[in-house]
């Protein structure tokens, strides 16, 4: 399973990229709005740091606007994947961009049917928002199971990118189901690294080793 970081924060991207944990990045207008500085410079920096797919989102909603913006975003780097909203004209844009050799990530997906249509249009990724479904009283992981099974049944060449992840258990569940990618905020990735028993165990090891050093003052390792 690939792990993408859902952020536009350069510090967080560098931190986890240096650990070798990041396979790609997803961004959106909201995430970019939270960062200080020129969004264009931020996007350019992200593409330089991360060698894997970097999803950059269009703002327009008409075919002409989305296509023009897609061409502009693609200039940031060969690893740019263009995020397109799950709307009728968006599907037309996905088809057109695929014909041009530009990969797309169809975002704001909330049903298996939407995912099927995006895959048929030619999306490289579909992004179901499970956290928002949970918030609305649905079981978000259910549609991940449905999409993964349907794509397997019909051999769609589209990756399921689980988005709107709210806690580490979502990542575990996505992995068990067989989703190809999860994208998560930096704080969730941080929680995945930590465990209280790890901290407790390390503290005990270090304490015991201090005793060994006192009993063996000339010890050299």
User: What amino acid positions are annotated as catalytic residues?
Assistant: 83
- Dihedral class, residue 77 (left if φ above 0, else alpha if ψ from -120 to 50, else beta): left
Distance CA 15, CA 193 (A): 13
DSSP state of 48: H
E strand or H helix that includes residue 54: strand 54-57
C-alpha distances in Å from residue 11, one per residue of 22, 104, 176:
13, 26, 30
Distance CA 31, CA 28 (A): 5
Could you tell me if 164 and 130 are in contact, meaning their C-beta atoms sit under 8 angstroms apart? Answer: yes
C-alpha distances in Å from residue 75, one per residue of 109, 187, 221:
26, 30, 53
Could you tell me if 196 and 204 are in contact, meaning their C-beta atoms sit under 8 angstroms apart? Answer: no
**Cα–Cα–Cα angle for 173, 179, 181, nearest 5°?**
105
């Amino acid at each position: 399973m690939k792990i993408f970081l859902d952020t536009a924060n350069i510090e967080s991207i560098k931190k986890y990229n240096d650990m070798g944990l990041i396979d790609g990045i997803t961004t959106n207008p909201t995430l970019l709005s939270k960062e200080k500085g020129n969004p264009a410079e931020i996007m350019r920096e992200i593409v330089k740091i991360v060698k894997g797919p970097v999803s950059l989102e269009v703002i327009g909603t008409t075919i002409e606007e989305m296509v023009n913006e897609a061409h502009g975003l693609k200039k940031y780097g060969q690893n740019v994947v263009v995020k397109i909203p799950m709307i009728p004209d968006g599907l037309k844009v996905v088809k057109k961009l695929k014909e041009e050799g530009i990969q797309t990530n169809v975002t704001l997906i909330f049903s298996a049917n939407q995912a099927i249509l995006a895959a048929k249009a030619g999306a490289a990724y579909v992004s179901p928002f499970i956290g928002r479904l949970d918030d609305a009283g649905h079981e978000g992981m259910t549609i991940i199971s449905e999409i993964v099974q349907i794509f397997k049944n019909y051999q769609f060449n589209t990756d399921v990118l689980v988005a709107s992840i709210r806690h580490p258990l979502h990542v575990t569940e996505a992995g068990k189901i067989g989703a190809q990618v999860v994208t998560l905020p930096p704080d969730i990735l941080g929680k995945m690294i930590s465990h209280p028993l790890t901290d407790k165990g390390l503290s005990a090891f270090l304490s015991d080793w201090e005793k060994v050093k006192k009993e063996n003052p000339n010890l050299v390792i």
